[in-house]
Amino acid sequence: ENRPVPEPGPNEVLLRMHSVGICGSDVHYWQHGRIGDFVVKDPMVLGHEASGTVVKVGSGVTHLKPGDRVAIEPGVPREMDEFCKTGRYNLSPTIFFCATPPDNGNLCRYYKHSASYCYKLPDNVTFEEGALIEPLSVGIHACKRAGVTLGSKVFVSGSGPIGLVNVLVAKMMGAAAVVITDLSASRLQKAKEMGADFTIQVKNETPQEVASKVESLLGCMPEITVECTGVQACIQAGIYATRSGGTLVLVGLGPDMVTVPIVNAAVREVDIRGIFRYCNTWPVAIALLASKRINVKPLVTHRFPLEKALEAFETTKRGEGVKVMLKCDPSDHSP
């Protein structure tokens, strides 16, 4: 609250923040102080799903001006390395990323960011939709890596925000049928509302039983599985469920070491692919939102002012609703 308003550098913009979504990783850092090798050693500002209004531009910025509404891509490469040269800048080892230690996030009133990674929002795209481009981007990147195309049969494992955006994107990319699993009936209901064709509430089935339910609902084994939980049993079910010659994309992150039926995958030529965040997705997402081809609005179930951030984090931690959104600018009542 009492941090000084930063001054933008030549290629930066200063933003008055508007909407910031809370992600599972934000809660994890708050509760555990680390995710894998990323350890919180000093106080850190959270938040990386964000939109705001430009209030000041650096001397070198030409594509934005004060008053522009923008969505923020939180990952900014620090150097033009081999990954940037090949267009996979998300893999750059020195990348800056909001709210990943030691880099501060943007859950604050004022925030400065590289202008190249701020994207102007069209008038018909709200601040809230702008903030949701970040989770939507995970779905776009995952479905691209998976090769979703016309007529694909897709199995999405996990019906949290990331599972739901994968349903949206898979359907948008031409999937003929999407089946989704979760423990929670209410989350599966939300998935149904957002376009899932079939839902499976998992209770205590074995991974093989889950796979066989997926097959019977789809009428065949899916060519593509998108695993969004990181839970060992779910990854196992993902391998068993995927058609021979198909692709399993691992989106959810769990423990470092996981026991999986790797020989089953190998002898059936099931490709296992990882994803790390996203790259080159903001322009695509903005075009989809502006053309109304995709609707992310139902994802937001709770809204809090910045002053009630703790309450917002507690709500997310309890697993209530789907996406909790914080409003950072009390003077702005636009959507």
Is residue 332 pLDDT above 90, yes or no? no
Is residue 329 pLDDT above 70, yes or no? yes
pLDDT by residue (tens digit) across 192-239?
999 999 999 999 999 999 999 999 999 999 999 999 999 999 999 999
Question: Quick one: how many helices (H) and strands (E) in the chain?
Answer: 10, 17
Is residue 1 pLDDT above 90, yes or no? no
Strand order through the sheet with 271-274:
198-201, 177-182, 153-157, 224-227, 247-250, 271-274
Do residues 20 and 70 make contact, with C-beta atoms less than 8 angstroms apart? no
- Dihedral sign, CA of 287, 291, 297, 303? positive
- Report the alpha-carbon distance of residue 135 to residue 24 in Å, rounded: 11
CATH of domain 12-120+296-327: 3.90.180.10
At residue 104 the predicted structure's pLDDT band, cuts being 50, 70 and 90, is: very high
At residue 334 the predicted structure's pLDDT band, cuts being 50, 70 and 90, is: low
Regarding pTM above 0.75, the answer is yes
pLDDT of the residue at 333: 59
Pick the CATH number of 139-274 from 3.40.50.150, 3.10.20.30, 1.20.120.450, 3.40.50.720: 3.40.50.720
The C-alpha R_g of the chain, in whole angstroms, comes to: 20
Do residues 29 and 105 make contact, with C-beta atoms less than 8 angstroms apart? no
pLDDT of the residue at 4: 81
The helix/strand/coil state of 32 is helix
Extract the tokens encoding 246.
């198909």
Percent of the chain with pLDDT over 90: 95
Do residues 270 and 245 make contact, with C-beta atoms less than 8 angstroms apart? yes
pLDDT by residue (tens digit) across 252-300?
999 999 999 999 999 999 999 999 999 999 999 999 999 999 999 999 9
pLDDT of the residue at 31: 96
At residue 3 the predicted structure's pLDDT band, cuts being 50, 70 and 90, is: confident
pLDDT of the residue at 36: 85
Is 184 exposed, middle or buried (CB count within 10 Å of its CB: 0-12, 13-18, 19+)?
middle
Write down the mean pLDDT value for the chain: 96
- Report the alpha-carbon distance of residue 63 to residue 218 in Å, rounded: 47
- What is the secondary structure of 36-103 as a DSSP string? TTEE--S------EEEEEEEEE-TT--S--TT-EEEE--EE-SS--HHHHTT-GGG-TT-EETTBTTB
pLDDT by residue (tens digit) across 133-175?
999 999 999 999 999 999 999 999 999 999 999 999 999 999 9
- Is the previous residue joined to 102 through a cis bond, with omega within 30 degrees of 0? yes
pLDDT of the residue at 215: 98
Domain definitions of the chain by residue range: 12-120+296-327, 139-274
pLDDT of the residue at 174: 98
Is residue 331 pLDDT above 80, yes or no? no
The helix/strand/coil state of 27 is helix
- Report the alpha-carbon distance of residue 70 to residue 114 in Å, rounded: 12
Would you tell me how many other CB atoms lie within 10 Å of the CB of residue 259? 10
The single residue listed with the structure tokens 């990952």 is 75
Is it true that 12-120+296-327 and 139-274 share their CATH fold?
A: no
Task: Determine if residue 321 is left, alpha or beta; phi over 0 gives left, psi from -120 to 50 gives alpha, anything else beta.
Answer: left
Listed in sequence order, the residues at least 6 apart from 221 whose beta carbon sits closer than 8 Å to its beta carbon are 153, 211, 214, 215, 241, 242, 243, 244, 246
Average pLDDT (104-111) is 96
Do residues 67 and 41 make contact, with C-beta atoms less than 8 angstroms apart? no
Is 124 exposed, middle or buried (CB count within 10 Å of its CB: 0-12, 13-18, 19+)?
exposed
- Report the alpha-carbon distance of residue 111 to residue 306 in Å, rounded: 14
